[in-house]
A and B are shown apart, each in its own frame.
Chain A
Amino acid sequence: STSSLESNLEGLAGVLEADLPNYKNKILRILCAVARLLPEKLTVYTTLVGLLNARNYNFGGEFVEAMIRQLKETLKSNLYSEAVYLVRFLSDLVNCHVIAAPSMVAMFENFVSVTQEEEILQVRSDWYVYAVLSCLPWVGKELYEKKDVEMDRLLNQIDGYLKRRQKVHVPMLQVWTAEKPHPQEEFLDCLWAQVQKLKKDRWQERHILRPYIAFDSVLCEALQHNLPPFTPPAHSDEALYPMPRVVFRMFDYTDAPEGPVMPGSHSVERFVIEENLHCIIKSHWRERKTCAAQLLSYPGKNKIPLNYHIVEVIFGELFQLPSPPHIDVMYTALLIELCKLQPGSLPQVLAQATEMLYMRLETMNTTCIDRFISWFSHHLSNFQFRWSWDDWADCLTVDLEKPKPKFVREVLEKCMRLSYHQRIVDIVPPSFSALIPAEPQYHYKYGDESNSSLPGYAVAIAVGNAIKNRASNEEILTTLKELPNPNQEEDDDEGDGFNPLKIDVFLQTLLHLAAKSFSHSFSALAKFHEVLKTLTESDEGKLHILRVVYEAWRNHPQVTTVHFPCTRISLPRLYTARFSVLFYVWEILHSTIRKMNKHVQKIQKELEEAKDKLEKQQHKKQKDSGDEEDMEKNSEDEDGQLEEQIERLQEKVESAQSEQKNLFLVIFQRFIMILTEHLVRCETGSVDINTCWYKNCIERLQQIFLMACELLPACLPNACSGIACEDSSVASATAASVRSRRYSVRKMIMKQQEPRQHSPAITRTGTVCVCANGTEERGEDETNQWLELSQITIIIKTCPAKKHGEDVCVGVFPHWPAATLFIQGIVIRGGGHENDAVNGNNGHK
């Protein structure tokens, strides 16, 4: 019953009206903030504003103006989701007789006209169309009643726009590659279908709570305001439009066994419910208890299978690509709270969801599987690891590398990390023993007497004693000196020499002695950092260190994960070794990328702070008067120091950004190498390229691309050298799918036999062929050219290679639609038609 809500609103309106003379600005500010930050309570507050407007026309006008100002601010500050909430609030004010319908339609027309802009970024026009469409559940009825001709025209324009849009990016954002049972729709497509259905239902919408209906007699007496004409702000280089997304669906009306039926996927109710639940999480994610309570007290919950909606929305966020809106662990904590508050119903829904996710592992995106594993193992650790493992006995009957057994193995691995080996043995049925992880143990080959014939065995003992007796670094190096170098010839190369046996003996022994705990290992590595450095001056040497650590801790991947970032070795070299299959290797890679990013951000922050300080100082100087001579000298010194500091920091930032770029480039390069090797190997062996490994690897690469998209804009310079873009009109057609940032990237060139021409067939989809002269060496980048990316997508030459080593000319750009093409190109390369790649078809899924 809403009667108490109504009387509260009535009362509040009265109080505020009385306060207006004294506190008008404060009230304006608060109401504007509420519109922006509490979208789930939209209709409550629009009603309030409606009541105030009915009592005080001027206030209504001032509120509308303040909202428009706020809208401009949020758009300028790249707060696009808040901007949507503001537009929606304004549109609902039409229902409250605060804003005249025609002026709202005019604003919508201005929004949609953005789609007519020349050389526009698709993400920009997407947002404006989304803003309009997402208001229609609230205000569609009213606007159609007043201005149906204009609204029809508007919707037609939108329809035309949606048909023109590029959707090359969609596969990269989908959680599952399969269309069944629920297609993962592009978000605008889904919303459009929902709006069309709503229109067919003559805009009858019954889910949204509308308190203003009860006040209709009061509100319709009010005078309405016209929205001032609103011109969407022009595009600027600083604009960071929201990334496109895909609607996550895992449930439908067949899944909730009893009780209210789940609204269909194209019903507007579904949209509104999901929107509101997302908004609640956005408002309350920091406080998991409040968030859970708010979710469970969703108004109208008795008419919908709320638990299913909540679970679906939460998993939708958790699996969102490239990254969830909030930190992963929040979702685990939130689900635990929800289980606590609804112990009789929510755990069952969650179990059902888990079961469904397990059943569909084969087509689930690898990154999402990672998150599923992390979530599930952490969740289980809070519930004594209770699970009906026997239900998953089917995973025992297939190859252990297949998705289902791999999933179970990795879940058990993660569960073990949170507990201990014997616990895992105890919780699974004996039939699952093949999937139980090995007991984490340090593998010290020199500790086993049966290995006494190994070269270096005796020296290992000597080194061990030396370390225990706190020998100096020099003494230790002397002890190692007598070890022969198995790579004798390489010793002759300048700078390449390293003795793998020395590294092996020293590092193995050191880690063995320090194997007790992480802290011990870290101290040991730190203490003997100098010795390690001496032994491994070359990159090859560093790589060997990684190999040794990997071998030694083979059964304890967690240690390896934590060790690598700590040994300060250039990580990308890791991937020339065949580590790519192992789950925890990705943890290391992502951890490295994360740390690099934090490093860059930290220095950028220092730079900003120094700049602010200088500005403040100079500002202060202008204001102060006084003993001019003394003041000037002091402040000049201070300024000078600060300016120097700023210059130093600027250099630091640039060098850090350059390191970060390099990291991504090397990662991409390595991926291309191993992917190409796989493709070539399969072709020469006439084997299907689509192995589990391949799917895994491609999706990993996709994820890195998406991460680069998110992280790199902040650091790349805008200007770069020219590029061989042969057909600029074609390039501009693709600009629609490009983000506003300009990316420069080094072209990675693989073995190529002859320079390729720009093929006219390619222009159909507007991609541009970027090729360059090849080189002899595989993986070597001769040209070192930096290319301007803003209008380019990639091309991959996809003619199936008839012979080993034929051209794989690849320009790679960390730009997501292009990246999709690249991925598709690789997928298709194995056996598809060149035209498939050109048309962006998922020919080869």
Chain B
Amino acid sequence: MGSRSSHAAIIPDVDNIRRETGFSQASLVRLHHRFQALDRNKKGYLSRMDLQQIGALAVNPLGDRIIDSFFPDGSQRLDFPGFVRVLAHFRPVEDEDPGIRDPKAPEPLNSRMNKLRFAFQLYDQDRDGKISRHEMLQVLRLMVGVQVTEEQLESIADRTVQEADEDGDGAVSFLEFTKSLEKMNIEQKMSIRILK
């Protein structure tokens, strides 16, 4: 515990990261610890394998997709800033010390929109800005499990898309996605307390 401040010094570019992500120093130190623990061969970055080693993630139906979201644009390396940047989406919105956040920054990573965007890109695998029926079906297939037959899944997917689809293009755009969730307390549902 006493070595925290010294640890903070180890993190490269710590101030920029803090400004960007809004994490507190203590959180960053803890995340850095975790980062190093995940980095098995001390290579300084995380590979897909490193994340796949986490036992519970393998069971998570969305595990692969979430791992993918840590590796944007097909890169194979995840450095610490990238790691923290992704996790920053889950920082609770009501930050107790708003001074850390840069007021000029247009939108902090943990804003409602960004939280939603993170969820959205888990659905939108081909990155065309729309959740097609097919993509919806894939997610449903992951989530619903084996008890429901394919036909049922398809009808659910149809209905889900239909429900959110406002412009009638048969797919859910990000706007429609946010609209379908506008009654939900995203700030609360997509936050993890310890990620202050």
Are these two chains actual partners, yes or no? no
User: B-side interface residues toward A, CB under 8 Å?
Assistant: none
